[in-house]
Amino acid sequence: MNVGGPLAGWRVVVTRAAASSSELARRLEAAGAGVVEVPTIEIADPADGGRALAAWAARTEELDWVVVTSANGAERLVAGWGGPDAVAKARVAAVGPGTAAALRRAGVEPALVPPGPSSGAALGRALPPPPRQGRVLLARAETADPELPRVLAAAGWQVEEVAAYRTVPVAVPAELAAAAGACHAVTFASASAVRSYLASAGRAAVPPVIACIGPTTAAAVAEAGLSVDVVSPVQTLDGLVSALAEEAARRGRPPPSAGHRTRP
């Protein structure tokens, strides 16, 4: 994506998984921003080491759909099933474009990607009506929002949940939290990153502008009593950068680095 330099002069916090290289940081820097990367979560194997997920690879004929709700879930599904050929035996639905892109990078073309903002409820509504005794496998984080299985069950689906991974909070060093608090904006790409960041770094490390990749992540910010300034209408890293760039253009200059306001 070529967005020029609309974020020139902005210092932006990127919250990310500890072991991941930050594609988001590179995109923000290409848009002119100075970036402070803050690891907030670590992606780990589920408690069973992935055995339950792997076991479903031999049972795809029992499934009408396999549903993934994050890029991490998509990557873990393909790895846990032994590669894209095994996953191709099932119909896979992705919660949104970011998750769909992760599937494609792993060699799997999703059969369903709902239009509009990414959410579990939207994905549940986008699935066609189930056949008799229709079964859906949810491959996602060990601790995940219960909304999607409720929506699917209400629609008549038999829902099987399997842990594809778990997120482990990472402590934010005091000096990194202080550097983050002096920035102009913070980006969040998952609800788990929001919760871990606030629990470890605290509100003083939250810059004036909060940018979220989608409504689920924004809801986690709101639940913490903070207001959200930017919600990307397209749930991809490029979409998040574009949305923050639009906010920067609207403001004209970076805000004072004096911490973020709470919701009224």
Per-residue pLDDT of the chain (264 residues; tens, 9 = 90+): 444 589 999 999 999 876 665 888 999 999 999 999 999 988 899 999 999 999 999 999 999 999 998 889 999 999 999 999 999 999 999 988 888 999 999 999 999 998 866 677 778 888 888 888 899 999 998 887 788 899 899 889 999 999 999 988 989 999 999 999 999 999 998 888 999 999 999 999 999 999 998 888 899 999 999 999 999 988 788 889 999 999 999 999 999 875 555 544
How buried is residue 222: exposed, middle or buried, by Cβ count under 10 Å (0-12/13-18/19+)?
Answer: middle
* pLDDT for the residue 84: 96
Give every CB contact of residue 115 below 8 A, 6+ residues apart in sequence. Answer: 126
* pLDDT for the residue 258: 58
* pLDDT for the residue 1: 45
Count other C-beta atoms under 10 Å from residue 34's C-beta. 14
Q: Name the phi and psi angles at 100, rounded to 5.
A: -60, -40
* pLDDT for the residue 4: 59
* pLDDT for the residue 2: 45
211 neighbors 194 (Cβ within 8 angstroms) = no
Structural domains of the chain ordered from first start: 11-41+169-251 (3.40.50.10090), 51-167 (3.40.50.10090)
Report in angstroms the alpha-carbon separations of 73 from 5, 9, 200, 222, 257. 33, 35, 25, 24, 35
- Provide the β-strand partners of residue 141: 165
Count other C-beta atoms under 10 Å from residue 23's C-beta. 12
